[in-house]
A and B are shown apart, each in its own frame.
Chain A
Amino acid sequence: MLRIASKIFALSLFALVNTAQALTIFTCEPEWAALSKELAPGAKVFSATHAYQDPHYIEARPSLISKIAKADLVICSGAGLESGWLPALQKRAANRKIVNGADGMLYLSQFIETIEKHETEFFSTKHVHPKGNPHFHLDPDRLSKLAVVISQRLQIIDSGSRLIYQQALAKWQIKWQQSLQQWKQQAAKLKGQPVVVQHTSFSYLINWIGMDAIADLEPKPGVPPTMAHAQSLIEEARQKQPVAILTNWYQNDRAARWLSDKTEIKHLNLPATVDLKGDINNLQRLFDHLLTQLQEAQ
């Protein structure tokens, strides 16, 4: 009797493993949700933030705790970007799969080189990231590497569906390579052009294109723009005639609009990431949009 029971148990276990179980993926930022949807077809994907939210500053809301508690895999940029809220979610959720160090907790910053690393002194009141700029999803080359990292992690966590993940990655890579050719052509036309920024949100893209960020509306990294500081940029902006003044959707663009009025330099308010509920809902479309907008501003 016991033997039959254990056989039935083993069989049902086998059946469970064989049906490609849908993973639940929680991402800190929407770019990783968009990428996960392509790399893990069939997975349930949720992003803690969206394109209109500053990922540095969201609240560790109750709804996010119950979402992260059910996740098999959490994918975040890391490098300190989520340090104001992610640890609070992890602590409350008590989900063994996604504690720091577990396979289910993936900080992507650990797999690439970040730029703009700052030496911080302990007694400093500046808001800088000692681990470098965490907005690296705006570099198409780093994204190619990270797609592999995510896919490998999916294959570890859900080894039963390895083939599915490998196929999805291959498919994504082909598409990405094709787009890269087009983006490189667009970038070539923008190379060397000056641009005014607000915060370091677009640094990776600007570096990848080879544009030149001549001024930052933030007086110090992380310190919101002031009118006095914007005023001090007028001369430089008039002289160097940048292509545009860049802000992103979650920023306050008051200072940028003001500077644009004063100097007649175009103000471009661009998405810093994908908008999962809108038209720009994957990374291909995001780069298409960003590069086209920059080109048209010229």
Chain B
Amino acid sequence: MKRKALALATAVLCSQANVVNALEVGVILDAYHKSETTALGGRTEGFGSSHSELSLSQDVANFATAHMALVGEWNEQESDLQLEEAYLQSSALPGGLNVTAGRFLADIGYLNATHSHSDNFSERPLLYRAFLGGHYFDDGIGVSWLAPTDRYWRLSAGAFTGDEFGEEGSESSIGTWTLSTEFGDDIGNNASWQMGVSYLSNKTQTSGHHEDEEDHDDEHEEHDHEEHDHAGHAHGAEFQGEKLYLTDLVWKWAPQGNNRQQQVKLAAEYAYVDDIYGAEFDHYDGWYLSGVYQFDENWATGIRHGRVNLAEEHEHDGEHEWEASRLTETSVMLSWMPTHTQRLRLEYKHQDADHMEGTDNAITFHYQVGFGAHAAHSF
């Protein structure tokens, strides 16, 4: 018994000395040149940096992790520094539960909770830029639960202040709340999939379309101009509704599951925004499909095609009218990873629109390099 206790004590000491409580510091530097500014956010024309990041991570004893990420953006018009993440997350509570509290990325959709430095394209898909401001993070609390089933099944829920969702703060104390679930499994030795459905309830505005309509319209026009100037820097979702539904499907293939050599990654997401704020219109929606083929250790190529169906305000014989607008975007990219921590990407983007301004075609050169510790990526 004594011996056992001793062995246990040494084991615990050893593991604590080596694993726990090391502060992990990571830096991601992002630099790009884009030939033209394109519609609906994303990077602006010229040289800049869109998502450079300093992250700190620290295990708190064995029960939680503290994480912080400071994100910088700069381009020829402006620069901006923002705290995107600052949270405490439990390591494992009883019953497969975990709690996250602080500022963190909402656990909705496929891409939202992933860090954009691991994206395969230089900008987020249209639906993320239109409905979630690129990626939605906020102050709040989240709970996730892994079901004890053989097949992966996870549920998660979050409640947020909503202050980071729109351009302005939230009008209620719990501005948004989210609910999501995901499933996934392998298919044979070479492929695996994951599917998710999520919902976001947005109470940051109280009944948008009934606000002083005239004032609002004037503001909107001004706002429109600003939006084009600040196209690269759209914090907050531009197109909002009371309800946002998201569904995603991801399929990955690598011979023998050895994705160091080769991998095909297909992803599709669909978003539906209901009970729209600020526009007299029934609903918005959008989708994208993307395929990326990493054909050896250093090279990958991919294509993404997506669309958003929105509404644009027009003046017609002195009357303001809301009209369906549509934006389609196709991106083609080739990326080279000279080392595990660096990536150089060349991307061509083509936009097409009905009743929407600011569309263009653009070529982007994008370089990214990481230093220090780097959090493991989820699927």
| Docked-complex contact B257 and A60, CB < 8 angstroms | no
Contact of B257 among A58, A99, A102 (CB under 8 A): A58
Taken together as a complex, chains A and B put the C-alpha atoms of A102 and B186 apart, in Å, by 29
A66 near B96: Cβ-Cβ < 8 Å: no
User: A200 at interface (Cβ–Cβ under 8 A)?
Assistant: no
Binds A, one of B141-149, B168-176, B283-291: B141-149
- A69-B297 in contact (CB<8A): no
Say yes or no: A62-B194 contact (C-beta < 8 A), given A53-B256, A57-B259, A222-B340: yes
A271 to chain B, nearest CB (A): 13
- Given known contacts A101-B15, A101-B20, A56 and B4 CB-to-CB distance under 8 angstroms: no
Q: Shortest distance in angstroms between A250's beta carbon and chain B's nearest beta carbon?
A: 5
Inter-chain contacts of A127 with B (CB < 8 A): 339-341
In-complex Cβ contact of A94 among B62, B65, B146, B261 (8 A) = B146
Q: Is the CB of B259 within 8 A of A156?
A: no
Q: How far is the CA of A91 from the CA of B156 in the complex (A)?
A: 13
Q: Is the interface of B mostly helix, strand, loop or mixed?
A: mixed
What is the distance, in angstroms, from B102's C-beta to the closest C-beta of chain A? Answer: 15
The answer to whether B372 has its CB under 8 Å from any CB of chain A is yes
Per-position 1/0 for A101-137, Cβ under 8 A of B: 1110101001100000000001111110000000000
Q: A24-32, A82-90, A164-172, A203-211: which lies at the B interface?
A: A82-90
For residue B371, which residues in chain A have a CB less than 8 angstroms away from its CB? Answer: 122-125
B19 engages A66 (CB within 8 Å): no
Whose C-beta in chain A lies nearest to the C-beta of B7? A152
Are the C-beta atoms of A65 and B258 separated by less than 8 Å? no
Q: Given known contacts A94-B98, A122-B371, is B376 in contact with A156 (CB within 8 Å)?
A: no
Chain A's closest residue to B94 (CB) is A96
Q: Which of B12, B148, B372, B378 has the most CB of A within 10 A?
A: B378
Are B4 and A66 in contact, CB atoms less than 8 angstroms apart?
no
- Are A122's CB and B372's CB within 8 A? yes
Is the beta-carbon distance between B148 and A222 smaller than 8 angstroms? no
On whether the beta carbons of B256 and A110 are closer than 8 Å, the reply is no
Give the distance to chain A from B337, nearest Cβ to Cβ, in Å. Answer: 10
A83 to B372, CA, bound (A): 12
**Residue B93 is within 8 A (CB to CB) of chain A in the complex:** yes
Indicate if the CB atoms of A62 and B379 lie closer than 8 Å. Answer: yes
What residues of chain A lie closer than 8 Å to B372, measured between beta carbons?
Answer: 122
Instruction: Give the nearest-CB partner of B26 in chain A.
Output: A122
**Is the CB–CB distance between A105 and B379 below 8 Å?**
no
Looking at the complex, which one of A50, A100, A223, A252 makes contact with B339 (CB distance below 8 Å)?
A223
Query: Which residues B77-126 have CB closer than 8 A to chain A?
Result: 89-94, 96-98
Q: Is A298 in contact with chain B by the CB < 8 A criterion?
A: no
Cβ of B296 within 8 Å of any chain A Cβ, yes or no, is: yes
B15, A100: Cβ atoms under 8 Å?
A: yes
Complex CA–CA separation, A96 to B62 (angstroms) = 10
Q: A100-B15, A111-B14, A222-B340 are in contact. Are A85 and B377 (CB under 8 A)?
A: yes
Tell me which residues across on chain B come within 8 A of A223, comparing CB atoms.
338-340
Query: What distance in Å separates the Cβ of B292 from its nearest Cβ neighbour in chain A?
Result: 13
Report how far A49 CA is from B260 CA in the complex, Å.
13
Instruction: Answer whether A107 and B18 are a contact pair too, CB < 8 Å, given A99-B92, A223-B339.
Output: yes
Interface centre among A61, A70, A90 (most CB of B within 10 A): A61
| A159 adjacent to B62 (CB under 8 Å) | no
Interface pair A61/B4, CB less than 8 Å apart: no
CB pair A100 B7 closer than 8 Å: no
Contact B184 A92 (CB under 8 A): no
Complex CA gap A196/B270 in Å reads 51
Knowing A69-B146, A110-B14, A222-B340, say if A59 contacts B4 (CB, 8 Å).
no
Chain B 233-269: CB-based contact to A (< 8 A → 1; otherwise 0): 0000000000000000000101011111100000000
Q: Verify A100–B11 contact, CB threshold 8 A.
A: no
Q: Among the listed B12, B94, B342, which residue makes an inter-chain contact with A125, where contact means beta carbons less than 8 Å apart?
A: B342
A44 at the interface (CB under 8 A from B): no
A87 to B375, CA, bound (A): 8
A192 within 8 A of B: no
* B144–A110 touching, CB < 8 Å: no
Q: A50-B256, A70-B148, A156-B4 in contact; A101/B378 too (CB < 8 A)? A: no
Residues of A within 8 A of B (CB): 49-50, 52-54, 56-63, 65-66, 69-70, 83-88, 90-96, 99-103, 105, 107, 110-111, 122-127, 152-153, 155-156, 159, 220, 222-224, 250, 252
Known: A88-B376, A92-B146, A122-B371. 19 other contacts (CB 8 A): A52-B256, A54-B260, A57-B258, A59-B252, A60-B379, A61-B192, A62-B151, A62-B184, A62-B192, A62-B194, A65-B146, A69-B146, A85-B377, A96-B92, A100-B62, A110-B18, A125-B371, A224-B297, A250-B260
List 22 A-B pairs, Cβ < 8 Å.
A54-B261, A59-B252, A59-B379, A62-B184, A62-B186, A65-B152, A65-B154, A85-B376, A90-B91, A90-B92, A91-B91, A94-B97, A94-B144, A100-B19, A103-B8, A103-B12, A107-B18, A110-B14, A122-B25, A155-B4, A223-B339, A250-B256
